[in-house]
Amino acid sequence: MTQYGSPEREKTEEERSLNFIEQIITEDIKSGKNDGRVHTRFPPEPNGYLHIGHAKSICLNFGLAVKYNGLYNLRFDDTNPLTEEVEYVDSIMEDVRWLGFDWGDRLYYASDYFEQLYEWAEKLIIKGKAYVCELTAEEINARRGTPTRPGTESPYRNRGTEENLDLLRRMRKGEFREGEKVLRAKIDMSSPNMHMRDPVLYRIIHASHHRTGDRWCIYPTYDWAHGQSDSIERITHSICTLEFEVHRPLYDWFIRELEIFPSRQIEFARLNLSYTIMSKRKLLQLVKEGYVSGWNDPRMPTISGLRRRGYTPESIRYFSDRIGVAKRENVIDLALLEHSVREDLNKKATRVMAVLNPLKLVITNYPEGETEEVDAVINPEMPDPGKRKVPFTREILIEKDDFMEDPPKKFFRLAPGREVRLKYAYIIKCEKAVKNDHGEITELHCTYDPLTRSGMPDANRKVKSTIHWVSEPHAREVEVRLFDRLFLKEDPDDVEKGQDFKSSLNPESLKVTKGYISSGIDGAGALDKFQFERLGYFCVDPESKPDKMVFNRTVTLRDAWAKMAKNPQK
């Protein structure tokens, strides 16, 4: 992981404690289960874009396979033609690949197993473990009982094998309307586990599927497809989220009745992030109702959104590693995700001086019309930091925030009569703040000390701070999109009665502004990463054009001064 900077000592296997899934796998390997083989899978349903929660699952599933010298599959759980689309299949593959995982030739679709699944359904009927039920969905639900009350058996539960077989075959042929009949497993209507109360295996859907077209009009449910797909692929450890825990008895029941390869389902707690929603349904709503520009809006917690925001695959993998894996509900602090990008970008991002909120500054004793070139460091964290020339002139732009007419005690920047260093250039002294008729400061007049240019002996003089700047005649205007968290509340769903999560939306999650940069960005292409010195990390938006560049703010730098300014009581 560490490419530059201080060499981090990798912890040895013994030093690093194992999470509960790694413990299970380690024990399985030790006991020779599955011949010591480890094979995992990531099974997305192609009905939406992947988000950071999926990233956790991908890193977990695939990371485990890598760690234990196993294999991992990418499998689309495409059993519901009503909600699934190729657009999603494509985006999912792009995102998984971008995260840094290569599934080789192990790309599968649950729909590839439809025929096998069907054969197994007949097998179950022959064993007397499944039946065609003609109750309506409402009737089935009414008879299912409640978690505290047992259900009642369907009147169709005990029909003969031949009749069941005939009916199922006719269901497949398309002789019935949607909802008219379903195939159900015959288990136990009084089980305390609702999922064991004769779950539906097949439902009739007269819709074409993005892969099987119109070949089928009966589609397997999740329970009927998922475990068997794992088994067909000889998945050893089928890792999923906690809400499927109650499905496990059914998962195991199918394996037992069908006498097929016994994959083992293991559940972990899904990721929750503060100030973020993870529900695909709600994310879709934000997209459809135009609260964001699309699935890849840089404010979205989707992989494609994070990518466009400027996150790197490494930072997301690092994050997944840091958050850990366990079975208890959790809410990860968004600060950890931000820490993860900063950690990575600090090592990689090219430094550039950009002014976003300009205040003109005239160096009155500097020769008019002269331009000199000063050396700027490209990235101080690199073993070979590199240098770049930056033009310096009499009239420059500095950040408005870097000047205060009447500064508080701990403000170290420019103020009347105070000295400051212009990074890579000279030490200047503020002589005068020029105001307009409204009393607003329009420009600053300063003088410079010609002996303090970086590299000269006098440059080592101590000054309280160093600020960034841009030569005004050389300044190039760019568009800058300042993103902030999409939601104001730590838990966006924690809202007043009658309101929904949208009432927690942050109205200031996007501010579009201008920036001025003189050098360092020529030829920068989509998603190239920069640090605007003292401001934050930015990347080139894919919509950016050479003559009209657009930068997205990934995250600000940590800002001790901003924190202090917020808590003036100290």
Partner RNA sequence: UGACCGAUGGUGUAACGGUAGCACUGCAGAUUUUGGUUCUGCCUGUCCAGGUUCGAAUCCUGGUCGGUCAACCA
Residues recognised as catalytic: 45, 270, 280
Shortest spacing between CB 14 and RNA, in angstroms: 11
Shortest spacing between CB 113 and RNA, in angstroms: 13
CB 183 within 8 A of CB 171: yes
Q: Is 172 left (phi over 0), alpha (psi -120 to 50) or beta?
A: alpha
* Shorter beta-carbon distance to RNA: residue 1 or 18: 18
* Shorter beta-carbon distance to RNA: residue 194 or 434: 194
> Cα–Cα–Cα angle for 398, 404, 409, nearest 5°?
130
Q: Which residues neighbour 292 within 8 Å (Cβ) at sequence distance 6 or greater? A: 286, 299, 300, 486
| CA distances for 357 relative to 235, 321, 397, 403, angstroms | 56, 37, 9, 12
Other beta carbons within 10 angstroms of residue 300's beta carbon come to: 26
* Shorter beta-carbon distance to RNA: residue 256 or 563: 563
* Shorter beta-carbon distance to RNA: residue 308 or 351: 351
Q: How far apart, in whole angstroms, are the C-alpha atoms of residue 302 and residue 241? A: 18
CB 391 within 8 A of CB 424: no
Contacts 24+ apart (CB under 8 A), 220-224: 220/79, 220/110, 220/114, 220/117, 221/79, 222/77, 222/79, 223/195, 223/199, 223/247, 223/250, 223/251, 223/254, 224/117, 224/121, 224/185, 224/199, 224/200, 224/254
Tokens of 192: 């305390």
Shortest spacing between CB 386 and RNA, in angstroms: 12
Q: What single DSSP character describes residue 501?
A: G
Other beta carbons within 10 angstroms of residue 373's beta carbon come to: 11
* Shorter beta-carbon distance to RNA: residue 245 or 293: 245
Q: How far apart, in whole angstroms, are the C-alpha atoms of residue 121 and residue 111? A: 15
Identify any residues that bridge with 537 across adjacent strands, giving them in sequence order: 531, 555
Q: How far apart, in whole angstroms, are the C-alpha atoms of residue 404 and residue 213? A: 68
* Shorter beta-carbon distance to RNA: residue 386 or 455: 455
* Shorter beta-carbon distance to RNA: residue 12 or 146: 146
Q: Go through 256-265 and write b for each residue having 16 or more CB atoms within 10 A of its CB, e for each that does not.
A: ebbebebbbb
* Shorter beta-carbon distance to RNA: residue 71 or 323: 323
* Shorter beta-carbon distance to RNA: residue 425 or 486: 425
Quick one: how far is CA 469 from the chain centroid?
A: 34
Shortest spacing between CB 45 and RNA, in angstroms: 4
Shortest spacing between CB 468 and RNA, in angstroms: 7
Q: How far apart, in whole angstroms, are the C-alpha atoms of residue 281 and residue 503? A: 16
- Nearest-CA neighbor of 5 among 529, 379, 376? 379
How buried is 555 (Cβ within 10 angstroms: 0-12 exposed, 13-18 middle, 19+ buried)?
A: buried
Distance between first and last Cα of the chain:
39
Shortest spacing between CB 545 and RNA, in angstroms: 27
- With both helix axes pointing from N to C terminus, report the angle between 20-31 and 52-67 in degrees, rounded to the nearest 10: 30
Q: How far apart, in whole angstroms, are the C-alpha atoms of residue 554 and residue 515? A: 15
Shortest spacing between CB 50 and RNA, in angstroms: 12
Phi, psi (5° rounding) for residue 382?
A: -80, 150
Shortest spacing between CB 542 and RNA, in angstroms: 25
| CA distances for 257 relative to 156, 157, 231, 309, 400, angstroms | 21, 18, 13, 49, 73
* Shorter beta-carbon distance to RNA: residue 297 or 554: 554
What residue type is assigned to position 340 of the chain? S
Shortest spacing between CB 546 and RNA, in angstroms: 26
* Shorter beta-carbon distance to RNA: residue 309 or 468: 468
Q: How far apart, in whole angstroms, are the C-alpha atoms of residue 130 and residue 223? A: 14
Shortest spacing between CB 567 and RNA, in angstroms: 6
What residue type is assigned to position 136 of the chain? T
